[in-house]
């Protein structure tokens, strides 16, 4: 179980939504802030690689948040805003026997 003092980073989860615009066309967007909470972010060292002749920098992080009904519905199709940027969610898992903490593997610098 994570101690409350470690959960001090403010994070916001966004969910992709689809629907129709005023003209009846298919439209996609993001529902920003469907869940706002505190979490513990452990950022790993960034990796840079050369792809198609240009330098790309990706960073990965592990995010832990307290388990809740809303948090248990988060999938890799969602995204998270933390530390001033948008991150893709690569994987979701639970920590502990009862799943009281959720852990997300996140990536910044890739496609959202």
User: Among 6-10, 12-16, 43-47, 85-89, which stretch is predicted with the lowest mean pLDDT?
Assistant: 43-47
The predicted pLDDT at position 82 comes to: 95
CA distance 36 to 14: 9
pLDDT class of 109 with cuts at 50, 70, 90? confident
Domains and CATH numbers, the chain: 4-108 (2.40.10.270)
Structural contact between residues 34 and 14, judged by C-beta atoms closer than 8 angstroms: yes
Residues 52-65 have pLDDT tens digits of: 566 566 789 999 99
Asked if the model's pLDDT at residue 51 lies above 90, the reply is: no
Residue 102 CB partners (closer than 8 Å, separation 6+)? 64, 65, 66, 67, 71, 72, 74, 92, 93, 94, 95
Specify the pTM.
0.78
Average pLDDT rounded to a whole number, residues 67-78: 92
Q: What percent of the chain has pLDDT over 70?
A: 82
Residue 61 CB partners (closer than 8 Å, separation 6+)? 41, 42, 43, 44, 82, 87, 105, 106, 107, 108
Residues 15-46 have pLDDT tens digits of: 998 888 888 888 888 999 999 999 999 988 75
């Amino acid at each position: 179980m994570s101690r409350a003092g470690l959960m001090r980073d403010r994070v916001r989860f966004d969910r992709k939504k689809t629907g129709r615009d005023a003209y009846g066309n298919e439209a996609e967007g993001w529902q920003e802030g469907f869940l706002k909470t505190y979490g513990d972010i452990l950022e790993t060292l960034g990796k840079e690689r050369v792809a198609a002749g240009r330098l790309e920098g990706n960073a990965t992080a592990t995010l832990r948040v307290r388990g809740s009904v809303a948090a248990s519905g988060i999938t890799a199709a969602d995204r998270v805003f933390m530390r001033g940027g948008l991150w893709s969610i690569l994987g979701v898992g639970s920590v502990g026997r009862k799943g009281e903490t959720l852990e997300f593997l996140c990536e910044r610098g890739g496609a959202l």
